């Protein structure tokens, strides 16, 4: 796979770029990738010659029988990458995408997401970052096949037509070959430079092609992480520290060890692991283990104290993310003004599939450790396992599977590192057998890396013309990068790079980059106003936090779009008109807002008891406006309908875009209504879906989605549906009840 020496210089450049300016990469990295793919062709292709399948690209294997394997660089976790990425390549390749077989890629730098410089699925970037490189890969393979046919027919390449997986001689009818028949020849041919097709001539991209994984997911055939463990595996569970900072002191496994099927109980990965033959044996026996924790350095705070900490921080000076004019002076002198404090809770991800990972140590000299799991960042997983076990990166093979929901949770490979550590610690007890660690739902909810709690202090004023005159926003929350930056930098660094230094660089990146992430969606406050201040106040707590669908936008979308309604109310102006008056006509937010207002017939009469609310937000370069219609009865909210208009630039598959808007809306709505992880004495008070309630079918609104036609470059859809929904709902609730909700979740506020 990757040769450490060859990539040293490139990786060193990446590290310094990262330390310099956060985790964003420039678009020029895409063209750099194109030439890198070109150079990589030959070495990659030659390596695969022993099998009767030809690797014509890191993304494609061609069989002599003309079947195609598409190697998926991004994990498929519901967002549709298996289909959209394949469509992009097949469009240029001129091969029907319905016929490809999808294989998840292993770890290799060819699959890096240039936005992160790592093999990461997230940030709604798969299509945005990959479309050019995948189309180019398809085009180059097509051209190599045409050249191969031209060789065979001793004609010029202009006389060769490549369509639907077959090559034809344009002049001599009857001269035809399949792609597969030319694979062995094409492999020897360099790709010429080639122009991509125009978007307007696409025959597959842009069409409602049914998802390629729909069939296996409708028959029970799709394999998820929890479904795969090699023959003769053992199963493990792990008892983890109940509080952040709890340290294992002692444990008593007497009863557990004599429980049926139990193989071992041992300290591992900071907790106590129990290994048995089958899951049910683990589940029964693990309850019998008595564990003593030393809590002297653990978090002992409860939610009211955590909230107070955040609120206090939100009232003190923070790091500036934006500063224009004199917001403080203008606000002080203003007649019509408002001060508002918003509070958002810790949120769990609650993916449908609880985390799991299977690992096996091998005697084989090439792959010392195999890992089977599903993950949004397999290279980080491999790196942390390698570091933890004192192995080389190339000693480890990572096999990715379908992922039963990511939402940002599976960017953190903690469950994979745990499995490896347990297997390592129990090596003599399991004697070469694979070990599968399975998390329960309770484990998943209690040991998640939560969406951070946030306290937002907001000030605003309007002038006598009803226009915004000042806007100030300060968010206090835990930094997401504190844990993630060091692990990511370490992943990118060459193997010889000292872990201590990566860690230090990571901490620096976290310090400089944290406000960038925390303030996303508010630092770019789009409404016209001469006096703006935006700040971030980091809160230092040991609670594990991570990326939760739309990240900083999940907080800032709610606060900004709620506050805009509050300002509209202060100015005595309709919420849509107020926003519209502060947006330029060329702002893409204005277009989606105008369209959703048309679709929902905003302002027209509604059935009795039904009220509407609006919100618009840009995230991950896409623009989404939502209007909600709901009723409030007996202090319960019933959301009837959501109208959604999205501008995500050029669209690969409209069915998938619509599904992602619905998905983001339902996910955000669920959290807004009932989502929170309360803490008592440092312990998260959640167990299962009885107390972490999520939106069910009988509570779901009907969702109408329209995709605005656009010739802008394709941008993300996995997350952008989420940021506006909580504000749209609370804005409607205000109209219904006169009550302004600034503290989520909603169900606590309406009683």
Partner 1 sequence: MKAMNSQEALKRVRFRVNGAEREVELPEDTPLLWVIREELGLKGTKFGCGSGLCGACTVQLGGAPIRSCQLPLSAVADQDITTIEGLAQDGVLSQLQEAWIQRSVPQCGYCQSGQLVSAAALLRENPSPSSEEIRSHMAGNICRCGAYDLIEAAIQDAARLNAPAEKEQP
Residues that bind partner 1 (CB under 8 A): 77-80, 210-211, 213-224, 226-227, 257-264, 278-280, 283, 350-354, 402-407, 429, 438, 440-441, 655-656, 659, 662-667, 688-690, 694-700, 702-703
Contact predicate 347/450, CB 8 Å: yes
Q: Which is nearer to partner 1, 429 or 482 (CB)?
A: 429
Q: Where are the alpha helices (DSSP H) in 519-609?
A: 552-571, 575-581, 588-600
Q: Which is nearer to partner 1, 353 or 626 (CB)?
A: 353
624, 644 Cβ separation under 8 angstroms: yes
Shortest distance (Å) from residue 644 CB to partner 1: 12
87 or 564: CB nearest partner 1: 87
Question: For 185, which DSSP code?
Answer: H
- Which CB, 114 or 125, lies closer to partner 1? 125
Half-sphere exposure of 15 (CA within 13 A, CB side): 25
Non-local (6+) Cβ contacts of 553 within 8 A are 520, 521, 617, 619, 620, 719, 722, 723
**CB 723 to partner 1: min, Å:** 15
Query: What is the closest distance, in whole angstroms, from the C-beta atom of residue 695 to partner 1 in the complex?
Result: 8
Nearest to 259 by CA among 232, 238, 240, 280: 280
Q: In the complex, what is the shortest distance from the CB of residue 80 to partner 1, in angstroms, rounded to a whole number?
A: 7
Which CB atom, from 27 or from 689, has the smaller least distance to partner 1?
A: 689
381 contacts 204 by C-beta, under 8 angstroms: no
Handedness of CA 549, 553, 555, 558 (dihedral sign): negative
Residues in Cβ contact with 434 at an 8 Å cutoff, skipping those fewer than 6 apart: 229, 230, 232, 233, 234, 358, 359, 360, 370
Contacts of 105 by beta carbon, 8 Å cutoff, 6+ apart:
58, 71, 72, 73, 111, 119, 400
Which residue, 243 or 410, is less far from partner 1 as judged by CB? 410
C-beta separation of 105 from 44 below 8 A: no
Least Å distance, CB 282 to partner 1, is 10
Q: Closest distance between partner 1 and the C-beta of residue 721, in Å?
A: 9
* Nearest residue (CB) to partner 1, 615 versus 666: 666
- Cβ within 8 Å of residue 30, ≥6 positions away: 114, 129, 132, 133
Beta-ladder partners of 339: 459
Complex with partner 1: residue 301 or 657, whichever CB lies closer: 657
Q: Closer CB to partner 1, residue 262 or residue 539?
A: 262
Q: Which two tokens stand for residue 553?
A: 């936008």
Q: Cα separations (Å) of 142 from 33, 58, 62, 145, 448?
A: 19, 15, 12, 5, 45
Indicate the SS3 state at residue 344.
strand
- Tell me the closest approach of the beta carbon of residue 285 to partner 1, in angstroms: 9
Nearer to partner 1, 539 or 703 (CB): 703
By C-beta, is 649 or 718 nearer to partner 1? 718
Q: How far is the CB of 227 from partner 1 (least distance, A)?
A: 4
What are the counts of helices (DSSP H) followed by strands (DSSP E) for the chain? 22, 27
Closest to partner 1 by CB, 216 or 249: 216
Cβ proximity to partner 1: between 3 and 258 the closer is 258
Site of tokens 């890096």: 112
Residue 77: CB minimum distance to partner 1, A:
5
**d(C-alpha 290, C-alpha 646), whole Å:** 53
Residue 311 contacts residue 639 (beta carbons within 8 Å)? no
Nearer Cβ to partner 1 (231/335): 231
Contact present, 724 and 561 (Cβ < 8 Å): yes
User: Based on CB atoms, which residue is closest to partner 1, 140 or 722?
Assistant: 722
Q: Are 249 and 292 in contact (CB under 8 A)?
A: yes
Q: Are 392 and 386 in contact (CB under 8 A)?
A: yes
Smallest distance, Å, CB 675 to partner 1?
12
C-alpha distances out from residue 705 to 371, 422, 557, 589, Å? 40, 46, 19, 16
Query: Phi/psi at 638 (nearest 5 deg)?
Result: -125, 110
Alpha-carbon gap, residue 79 to 66, rounded angstroms: 28
Nearer to partner 1, 257 or 391 (CB): 257
φ/ψ of residue 673, rounded to 5: -75, -45
Q: 310 with 455: CB under 8 angstroms?
A: yes
Containing 113, the helix (H) or strand (E) segment is none
Rounded least distance, CB 384 to partner 1, Å? 24
Smallest distance, partner 1 to C-beta of residue 693, A: 10
Give the distance from CA 303 to its chain's centroid. Answer: 27
DSSP-based three-state secondary structure for 591: helix
CB of 614 to partner 1, least distance (A): 21
Q: In what order do the strands lie in the sheet with 319-324?
A: 319-324, 532-538, 468-477, 454-462, 336-344
Q: Shortest distance, CB of residue 294 to partner 1, whole angstroms? A: 29
Task: Tell the smallest beta-carbon distance from residue 33 to partner 1 (Å).
Answer: 28
CB-wise, 407 or 471, nearer to partner 1? 407
299 SS3 class: coil
Shortest gap between Cβ of 743 and partner 1 (angstroms)? 24
Q: How far is the CB of 375 from partner 1 (least distance, A)?
A: 14
260 vs 603 by CB, closer to partner 1: 260
Residue 152 CB contacts under 8 Å (≥ 6 apart), including other chains? 177, 182, 185
Closest distance of CB 461 from partner 1, Å: 38
Structure tokens at 19: 């330390």
CA distance 419 to 233: 13
The upper half-sphere exposure of residue 391, i.e. CA atoms within 13 Å in the direction of its Cβ, equals: 25
- Kindly report the CA angle at 26 between 115 and 80, in degrees rounded to 5? 30
């Amino acid at each position: 796979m990757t040769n450490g020496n060859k990539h040293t210089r490139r990786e060193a450049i990446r590290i310094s770029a990262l330390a310099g300016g956060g985790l964003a990469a420039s678009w020029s990295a895409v063209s750099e990738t194109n030439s890198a793919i070109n150079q990589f062709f030959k070495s990659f292709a030659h390596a695969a010659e022993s099998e009767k399948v030809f690797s014509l690209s890191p993304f494609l294997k061609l069989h002599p029988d003309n079947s195609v394997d598409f190697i998926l660089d991004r994990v498929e976790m519901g967002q549709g990458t298996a289909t959209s990425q394949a469509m992009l390549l097949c469009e240029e390749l001129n091969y029907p995408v319905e016929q490809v077989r999808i294989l998840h890629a292993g770890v290799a730098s060819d699959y890096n997401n240039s936005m992160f410089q790592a093999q990461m699925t997230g940030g709604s970037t798969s299509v945005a970052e990959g479309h050019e490189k995948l189309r180019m890969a398809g085009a180059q393979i097509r051209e190599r096949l045409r050249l191969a046919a031209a060789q065979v027919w001793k004609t010029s390449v202009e006389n060769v037509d490549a369509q639907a997986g077959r090559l034809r001689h344009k002049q001599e009818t009857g001269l035809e070959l399949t792609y597969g028949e030319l694979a062995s020849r094409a492999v020897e041919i360099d790709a010429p430079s080639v122009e991509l097709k125009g978007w307007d001539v696409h025959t597959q991209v842009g069409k409602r092609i049914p998802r390629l994984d729909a069939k296996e997911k409708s028959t029970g055939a799709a394999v998820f992480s929890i479904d795969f463990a090699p023959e003769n595996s053992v199963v493990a569970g792990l008892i983890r520290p109940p509080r952040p900072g709890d340290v294992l002191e002692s444990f008593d496994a007497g009863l557990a060890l004599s429980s049926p099927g139990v193989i071992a109980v041992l300290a591992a990965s900071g907790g106590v692991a129990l290994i048995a033959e089958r899951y049910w044996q683990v589940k029964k026996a693990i309850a019998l283990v008595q564990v003593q924790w030393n809590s002297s350095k653990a978090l002992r705070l409860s939610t009211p104290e955590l909230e107070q900490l955040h609120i206090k921080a939100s009232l003190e000076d923070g790091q500036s993310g934006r500063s224009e004019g004199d917001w403080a002076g203008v606000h002080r002198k203003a007649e019509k003004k408002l001060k508002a404090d918003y509070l958002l809770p810790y949120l769990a991800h609650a993916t449908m599939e609880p985390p799991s990972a299977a690992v096996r140590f091998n005697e084989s000299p090439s792959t010392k450790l195999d890992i089977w799991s599903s993950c949004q960042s397999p290279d980080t997983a491999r790196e942390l396992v390698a570091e933890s076990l004192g192995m080389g990166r190339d000693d480890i093979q990572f096999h990715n599977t379908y992922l039963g929901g990511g939402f940002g949770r599976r960017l953190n490979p903690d469950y994979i590192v745990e499995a490896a550590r347990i297997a390592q610690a129990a090596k003599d007890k399991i004697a070469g057998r694979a070990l599968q660690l399975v998390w329960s739902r309770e484990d998943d909810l209690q040991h998640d890396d939560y969406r951070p709690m946030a306290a937002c202090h907001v000030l605003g004023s309007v002038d006598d013309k009803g226009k915004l005159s000042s806007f100030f926003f300060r968010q206090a929350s835990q930094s997401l990068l504190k844990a993630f930056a060091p692990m990511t930098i370490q992943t990118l660094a060459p193997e010889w790079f000292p872990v201590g230094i990566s860690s230090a660089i990571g901490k620096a990146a976290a310090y400089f980059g944290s406000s960038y992430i925390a303030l996303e969606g508010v630092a770019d406050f789009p409404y016209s106003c001469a006096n703006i201040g935006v700040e971030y106040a980091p809160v230092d707590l040991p609670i594990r936090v991570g990326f939760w669908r739309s990240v900083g936008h999940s907080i800032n979308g709610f606060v900004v779009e709620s506050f805009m309604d509050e300002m509209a109310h202060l100015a005595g102006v309709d919420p849509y008109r107020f926003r519209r008056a502060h947006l330029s006509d060329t702002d893409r937010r204005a277009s989606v807002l105008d369209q959703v207002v048309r679709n929902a017939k905003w302002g027209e009469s509604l059935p009795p008891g039904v009220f509407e609310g609006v919100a618009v937000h840009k995230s991950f370069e896409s623009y989404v406006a939502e209007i909600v219609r709901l009723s409030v009865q007996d202090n319960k909210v019933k959301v009837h309908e959501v109208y959604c208009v999205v501008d995500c630039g050029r669209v690969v598959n409209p069915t998938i875009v619509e599904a992602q808007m619905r998905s983001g809306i339902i996910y955000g709505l669920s959290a807004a209504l009932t989502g929170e992880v309360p803490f008592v004495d440092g312990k998260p008070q959640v167990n299962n879906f009885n107390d972490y309630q999520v939106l069910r079918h009988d509570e779901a609104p009907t969702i109408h989605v329209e995709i605005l036609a656009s010739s802008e470059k394709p941008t993300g859809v996995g997350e952008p549906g989420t940021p506006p929904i909580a504000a749209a709902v609370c804005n409607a609730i205000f109209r219904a009840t006169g009550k302004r909700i600034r503290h989520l979740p909603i169900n606590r506020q309406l009683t």
